[in-house]
Chains A and B, each alone.
Chain A
Amino acid sequence: AQSVTQLDSQVPVFEEAPVELRCNYSSSVSVYLFWYVQYPNQGLQLLLKYLSGSTLVKGINGFEAEFNKSQTSFHLRKPSVHISDTAEYFCAVSERAAGNKLTFGGGTRVLVKP
């Protein structure tokens, strides 16, 4: 069975500073990887996804993530955050043989301070 660990439950960061959100997964088969963002009182929105090919994936709103197979990680980064990036971020994995079923990490709450 697959599992996802987000190592930080909360990340405070100052505006215009860089941020990295860590995600590690475990699976015995090849996987697809995703990052979703949830703004307060809203549903989840897809930020980016890794299916195959280049290990560096660029998403919306200036975010990018790097797939590292040997370390089973998919960390999310943004070089300069804005107040509007305050949200909760979820890493998710789908095993290639399991159709579309997603397993989510526990989430990382990012608070951007002025």
Chain B
Amino acid sequence: DAGITQSPRHKVTETGTPVTLRCHQTENHRYMYWYRQDPGHGLRLIHYSYGVKDTDKGEVSDGYSVSRSKTEDFLLTLESATSSQTSVYFCAISDLAGDGYETQYFGPGTRLLVL
């Protein structure tokens, strides 16, 4: 258990409203990630962070922003939600395993429905 929680776990919102999803970790990991999961696409990286206030874009970053003001929290914001952002969102952290590679561990996910 990598000590990752996501909130909320489920959310229904309307098109055009802002939405913020929170990822919280308890074990001081440096790297944190946001993915979205859609049928047939697997998981796709939205944004990631390599430290407090250090973030970068992933493969599908348009329409999303992130912030990391504390090591333990990584926030994903949809400034103006659209129906195409209906998805399951996963947070992940990296942990340095015994083999020297930063293996990623995933949170339980947030189901977002944009009407």
Contacts and interface: CB of A to CB of B under 8 A. Distances in A.
A102 B101 contact: no
Contacts, number: 52
A83 B108 CA distance: 22
Interface string B49-67: 0000000001100000000
A45 B105 CA distance: 7
A38 to B, nearest CB: 8
Interface in B69-115: 90, 94, 99-109
Contacts of A107: 40, 42
Interface string A72-112: 00000000000000000010100000011111111100000
Contact of A101 (B42, B58, B105, B106): B58
A90 B106 contact: no
A105 B42 contact: yes
Contact of A90 (B42, B45, B101): B42
Interface string A19-49: 0000000000000100010000011111001
- Contact residue range for chain B? 20 to 34
Contact of A44 (B90, B94, B100): B90
Contacts of B4: 43
Contacts of B94: 100
A90 to B, nearest CB: 6
A100 B41 contact: no
Contacts of A101: 45, 48, 58
Given A100-B94, A101-B48, A101-B58, A44 B101 contact: no
B22 interface: no
Given A32-B101, A44-B90, A9 B40 contact: yes
Interface of B: 4, 31, 40-45, 48, 58-59, 90, 94, 99-109
15 contacts: A6-B42, A42-B109, A43-B90, A43-B108, A44-B90, A46-B103, A46-B104, A51-B99, A100-B104, A101-B48, A102-B45, A102-B104, A104-B42, A106-B41, A106-B42
